[in-house]
Structure 1
Amino acid sequence: MSNWLIYYLLFIFVFWMLFSNRKQTEKYIEAKIKRRNGDKDMQELAKRFIGKDVLINTVASGTIDGILKEVVDNAVVIDRNGAESVVNLDYVIRLREYPTNKNGKRKTVITD
């Protein structure tokens, strides 16, 4: 008599685990889809700045500046004094054109 009770509880436990894991999987997939759609928007916005002197604020490395050369997949290529840097758009917080003064030169002090 006790064997069927153990099997029954085991059976219910397995289905409960599968159901809870499915919810987590669905949440993960939804978040991934939202990120992917957001990345396309950021790529389109970054393409507007190709060939311009830009200032990029990132999550980890602070600020990167230089001329935006190209937008590839989910990254941008920045040229700074002949050296290229590649920045992943997932970590970009802000992307803007480098501020210039009335003579067209870069501003030395940037205030936001």
Structure 2
Amino acid sequence: MRRRGLLRWAWHTVRRLLTDNGAAFRSREFAQACQALGIGHKFTRAYRPQTNGKAERFIQSALREWAYVWTYQNSHERAQALASWQHHYNWHRPHTGAPMSRLPASRNNLLTLHI
């Protein structure tokens, strides 16, 4: 939802965005969209995945535990399975840090609602 020049997502206002250096994020259209929404955009350092470690680890886990672990009939079926996998990942899967249920809501940076 767009409101007052800022993007609102999951009850949070998006003010800044950190992305890798992929072509989609370097495009003129993406830059114009960020500017129109009033979102500051920065890039991670090239060839330094550790500068974006949390996202890199999440993507690695998503590919290993959700995207390629089952045989899906089509992309729609795979997309439908994502919500339940994200719920499991955020609330029930063991992590090396504190479980989400023990963290205060202000520390939850992946999802804001335990549904």
TM-score, length of structure 1 as denominator length = 0.23
Determine which structure has more spread, i.e. the larger CA radius of gyration: 1
Higher helix share: 2
Could you state the TM-score of these two structures normalised by the residue count of structure 2? 0.23
